Amino acid sequence: MSVIVVGLEQRQAPLDLLEQVAISEDDLPKALSRLQDLGNISEAVVLSTCLRTEIYAVVERFHEGVAELQEFLASLGGRPGESLTDHLSIRFDDEVTAHLFSVAAGLDSAVLGESEVLGQVRRSWERAQAEDASGPVLGSLFRHAVEAGKRVRSETAIARGITSLSHGAVAIAAGRRPGGLQGARVLVVGAGEMGEGVTQALADHDVASIAVANRTSDRRDAVISNWPEGRPVQPRGTDLEGLVEELGEADVVFTTVATTHPIIDREMVEVAVAGREGSAPLLIVDLGVPRNVAPAAAALATVVLLDMEVLRSAVEDALSGRQEQAVLAAEIVAEEVERHRVDVRARSAAPTIAALRRQVDELRSAELERLRAKNGDLTDQQWEQIDVMSRALANKLLHGPTVALKEAAGTPRGERMTEALRALFDL
C-alpha cells in the first residue's frame, strides 16, 4: 500500500492545461465516484484550486495507481494520458506529507502564506469524507495538514499583509491605474469565496461604486451586505444577464466565477468599451481557472486584461521580502511532517503488536489455569505471585520485538518484520 499524489501545479503546467483539468465544486462528487470505481484505489481526495488540481490517493500498487490517475486527469481535458507527462507532478509516501503540509501552510501558493488555501484543503477533505472516498489514512493526513497550516500562521508572520490571491489582485489592480482605485467604478463578477475576498479587499480603497454580479441573488446580496457601513459608496447588485451594460459602466472588473468556459467573450467587451477612445482603458482582472474572460479580449486597444499567469508573477515579485518568514514556516512544516511520520509508523505497527500481546496473554492464562487444576494445594496469595511473575516474564520477552517493530514501522524493513511475525505466530 502506498500514499501518492498525482497532479498539475502552477509552476509546472501552463494556464490553459490547468483550465482543462480543473474540477468545479459541482463536479467533485462525480469525480470522486469515478476514482472510487478504480480497483487499485482505496481512498481518494481531490484538491482543485485556481492554480492546482491534485489527487491524493491510497493505492495497492504504486505504478498502476500513478498510471490510473494520469489517465483520469487527462480524461478531464479530453486528452491522451501521455500528453500530461512533461507537466505532471508525482509524489509518494513521505513526499506526499511534506507537499500537502507545505500547501496548507501557504508555502506553495502564488501568494506566499495565503489564507484561502487552508480552507480549500480542509473542504476538499470534508467533501471526500461526505462522498465516502476518504478513509483513515487520508483522514489522518489531511487532519494533520490543517493543524500544521494553522500552526504556521499562528507562529510566524508569513500571513501578514496580503494574505490571499484576491487581496493581491486588488493591490495589483490599484498599482496599474494612476491614482490607484480611488474614484473607480468597480464590477465584481462572482460572489463565491474569491469574489467575497475581492469585495472585502476593495473596502480598503476609496472606490466610487461597486457592483456585484452573481448567478444567485442570495449570495450576491450577502456579499454586498458585508460592505462597511459609513463608507461613501452605494453598492448595488446585478445578475449575469446584464454583464454587457455593467462592463460598459465599470472602470475595473474582477471576475471570479467557477466555470468551464469564458462567460465574457471578446464581442461583449468590444460592445462595452465602444466609445472609450481617449479615456482610461477598461482594466479586467480575471481570477478564474478556467478563465472567465476570453483571451482575445486583450487585443482590444481600450482594454487591459490580467489573467492568472500575469497575477501570479506580479504577486510573487511583490512578496519577495517574505522569504525570511517562509524559512521559519518551512521549519515548522518539517517538524510536523516528522511528527506525522512517527504517528503513522506507530499506528501501522499497533495492530500487529496488539495481536501478538493478546495471543501471548491468552496462552499465559491458559497455562496458568492448567497449572492451577493440577496444584490445588497452593494458596491464593501464591497463585497471585505466580500470575504476576508470568506477566512480567511475558512483558520482558515481548519488549524487544515491540520496540523493534515500532521503530521499523512504515519502512520496507518494518513490513518484512510484520509479515514474519504474523507468519511465525499465526496472527
Which residues participate in catalysis according to the annotation? 50
Q: Are 2 and 63 in contact (CB under 8 A)?
A: no
Using CB atoms within 10 Å of the CB of residue 422, give its burial: 0 to 12 exposed, 13 to 18 middle, 19+ buried.
Answer: middle
Which one-letter DSSP state was computed for residue 83?
G
What sign for the dihedral angle of Cα 160, 163, 168, 170? negative
> Could you tell me which of 129, 118, 101 has the C-alpha nearest to residue 44?
129
Q: Which three cell numbers stand for residue 258?
A: 467557477
Q: Confirm if 299 and 266 have CB atoms less than 8 A apart.
A: yes
| Cell 497463585 found at | 383
255 has which bridge partners? 189, 286
Close Cβ partners of 102 (under 8 Å, ≥ 6 residues apart): 108, 330, 333
> Which cell numbers hold the place of 284?
479586467
Cα–Cα distance between 186 and 177 in angstroms, integer? 13
Q: Are 255 and 264 in contact (CB under 8 A)?
A: yes
Euclidean distance between CA atoms 94 and 23, whole angstroms: 26
Cα 203 to Cα 191: distance, rounded to the nearest angstrom: 15
C-alpha–C-alpha distance, residues 407 and 221, integer Å: 57
Which among 97, 95, 120 is positioned nearest to 110, based on CA atoms? Answer: 120
Amino acid making up residue 48: S
DSSP per-residue codes, 284-330? EEE--SS-SB-GGGGGSTTEEEE-HHHHHHHHHHHTGGGHHHHHHHH
